[in-house]
Amino acid sequence: MKIFVTGASGFIGSAVVRELISAGHQVIGLARSEKSAQIIRDLGAEALIGDLEDLEILKKGALQADAVIHTAFFHDFTQFAKAAEMDKQAINAMGEALVGTDKPLVVTAGTLGLPLINGIITEESRSSGIPRSSETTALALAEKGINASVIRLAPSVHDKGDKGFVPFIIAQALKNSISAYPENGSNRWTAVHRLDAAKAFRLAAEKGIKGALYNVVGEYSIEIKSIATLISEQLNLPSASFSGDDLASHFEWMSRFISFDSPAENLKTQELLNWKPEHIGLLDDMKQNYF
């Protein structure tokens, strides 16, 4: 297949491009700049210059391809409402281009903050669309007949070169000379290695199951305190519980995310995609690549 990938030069998107090409697919990658375009070309893909706000370019990429994988997101979390709206408009634009076809549209969302069912997030858990509407937007397209599905990523997609939540937690520990965690630190996150996530994206595009929700998590339940403790040990810093204003001051924009209790399983996802995580876990990856 020829597959249009947004965010193709990014941390996750570039791994998706490599995975697709290694499986024999052709790739068109969205590039915000000539620098991004060269990264995409070096991966062996074709570059299409444009960004998430250029809806006509997004439609063009979708029309040229047999499938679409949307990994791009405006990662300025201080402007999260703007980022969420940009994402919604982009998904709808690409979905509009696929009306009347059976071309798969694979949209990226997350597990963080989804409701627990019997104490854990399953594929039956449903997003409310707040604060990010990626999942609800994709499912609305599926209800209209568009072959849209959703990859729900763990909050930590980890590997060497990660620029996401965990590096920010480490940076704040260095900045404030303390490794903090919320309350008693027992709230849980999930994690997935970048290469396992990339494989899940490829399989979702190849299988094209309309309306499917995939929990792309490698580890179901990692206590935030265990992450903070590892950072403390690696950086030789004290570790402590924070709450209220102290928590908000330490974690800044991330304070709204750090307290989520979001363990998640992936049993149905493994069955639907014939996918199984194979790479190292978050804490081991942190020890090897994050300090």
CATH number for position 268: 3.40.50.720
User: What was the pLDDT predicted at 263?
Assistant: 98
Coil, helix or strand for 177? Answer: coil
Partner residues linked to 179 by β-bridges? 239
Residue 97 lies in a domain: yes
Percent of the chain with pLDDT over 90: 93
* pLDDT one-digit tens code per residue, 95-116: 999 999 999 999 999 999 999 9
The average pLDDT across 160-189 equals: 97
* DSSP structural state of residue 117: B
Q: How confident is the model at residue 42 (pLDDT cuts 50, 70, 90)?
A: very high
> Alpha helices, DSSP H only, in the chain?
11-22, 34-42, 55-64, 80-97, 134-143, 165-176, 194-207, 224-235, 244-251, 255-258, 267-273, 282-289
The average pLDDT across 199-204 equals: 98
Residue 181 lies in a domain: no
- For 119, the domain range is 2-158+190-217+263-279
- Burial label for 251, CB within 10 Å (0-12, 13-18, 19+), is buried
Residue 21 lies in a domain: yes
Residue 234 lies in a domain: no
Q: Do the Cβ atoms of 152 and 204 come closer than 8 Å? A: no
Query: Distance between CA 190 and CA 200 in Å, rounded?
Result: 16
User: What was the pLDDT predicted at 29?
Assistant: 98
Rg (CA), the chain: 19
The average pLDDT across 21-25 equals: 98
Q: Number of structural domains, the chain?
A: 1
Residue 258 lies in a domain: no
Start-to-end Cα distance in the chain? 39
pTM: 0.96
Q: How high is the mean pLDDT of the chain?
A: 96
Residue 22 lies in a domain: yes
Residue 250 lies in a domain: no
User: What was the pLDDT predicted at 273?
Assistant: 98
User: What was the pLDDT predicted at 77?
Assistant: 66
Query: Distance between CA 92 and CA 89 in Å, rounded?
Result: 5
In angstroms, how far apart are the furthest CA atoms of the chain?
A: 58
Residue 182 lies in a domain: no
